Structure 1
Amino acid sequence: MSEMYHIPVLLHQCIDGLNINPQGVYVDVTFGGGGHSRAILEKLGPKGRLVVFDQDEDAWANRLDDKRVVFVRHNFRYLYHFLKYLDLMPVDGILADLGVSSHHFDVAERGFSFRFDGALDMRMNRNMKLTAADVLNNYAEAQLAELFKFYGEVTSARRLAAQIVKSREAHLFATTGDLKEIAGLFAPKRDAARFLSQVFQALRIEVNGEMDALREMLQKTVEVLRPRGRLVIMSYHSLEDRMVKNFMRTGDVTKAQAETNIYGHAEVPFKVITRKLIVPSEQEINGNPRARSARLRIAERW
């Protein structure tokens, strides 16, 4: 399953960024198909350890049969909790690939893609109650407009929200086709696919609480990483990337500028390694279109 599940993006750059100590402890908080984890294991010696996180039950099918690996079937927002429970702190490196896997987009019944007509689900963890259909059918118009604007950067967020509320009075949203039909009314002809992607992205982020989970995970890396430990994060849209960039620079996801002490020196928990953003080559993008929007940032714990 894993070979088709997901093609890892910027694989070599991610592994190089971790600066792996063969005897160290590393964490892959977005296991998915296990591509990055396998590459980490190749660098680890017999005493090295790897902890992987993934809340999606489909990822469990890709688990690695290796005594050095611990699989945590939970959201990465619980990073500190589980590492403390496992008595594996501090760790030498943390890797996060924040993009949705190829597998999710390709399985119609998961509801992540407008390319297929499937149930409006979008839950990464199918034990959660809230689905994309619940959001569309129950959220107030103002709530819908806000999530489309901030999570999807949809230009016609208010008009789209108003139309959704109007449409659900006659027919509740149940499938991705239902949403595509309504969202398509506002999509520009020249870039309809991008518009629909933004709409679906906004719903997915809301359903899975992605921004809150990312913020919680980032904040805990300060306590989890040992001095000179590496934080390697790949994001795919501007909201995530802004949070990651701010955090690596200032230690606060909401602040672009670090606070200074009475001597004018910035007190920050990380040293940014990637002064220049790392992005995929045209060759990689041609072989894996999903890589097009990938942005890799690396920082080191002081």
Structure 2
Amino acid sequence: MNAIDGIFDGLFGYERLMLICGFVLFVFALAAITLMIVQRRDFKAAMLLLVFAVVLMGFPGIAAVKFNQGMVEIDHLREQPAPPTDPQQKQQYERTLANLEQRVAGNPQLQAEVADGYRAIGEVDKAYDLARSVLATKPAPAVRQTLVPTLTAKLEQAAAALPAPAPAPSGSAAAPVAPSPSAVAAPAPAGAAPAATSPAREEHLQEIATVARELQMQSQAAPLPANAHVALANAYVKLGDTQKAAANVEAAKRADPHVVLNPALKVALKPPPADNGH
């Protein structure tokens, strides 16, 4: 069944129908020609039928070859450490990915690979939108694992775009703001003015919490790489959950003992100085 599915990968419904009809017609034409040769009859009409069957199979066959070439190209792109810097090359990849995205509808594994292709060229939002549509189908563990780089990139993007907390106006009392359950601000230093949570910051915090939850759930399917745990640690620091942040730092170190942590993360997770009673 998997081999048959592989033949039809990347083909639209009408192309699959053409391929099936062409194959059936091809077999029928071969049988007719064989019978006519045995009976010493003229088989020119059957030859025309054979040619028509080959033409019928040819169009979807060419489409399948182009699709496979496109997927190989995207697989190579996904292995690159950084997005392409040439604008024309990036546009070419975008066209290829847009074409592949249309052809992989209904195949979660291939959709996840295309989403990762968008991530590889720096189109993180497109990658995440496609990844969310795949996650909505409750895919297999292998598919979830393919989505990890996309979710990691989106989490890093969301955390980097988080607006800084707005300080309260000097000399005025700040209105109390009730923190949301998923977006608890980190404690402010002593003597600092209270920060007001703006709607834009609250929205970004909710987005960070959503993506972090989606990425953390992938660890149920397979262990996450070190960079994914680092992204989660940074996200949980933004959300004020230092316990989960510390747990992900430890998981990152287990996955890669040489993992590099950014200074801000180290400072955020540094234990407070001991109180000696002075």
Do the two structures share a fold, i.e. TM-score over 0.5? no
Query: Which structure carries more helix by proportion?
Result: 2
Larger-gyration structure (1/2): 2
Query: Which structure carries more strand by proportion?
Result: 1
Q: TM-score range by the shorter chain?
A: under 0.3
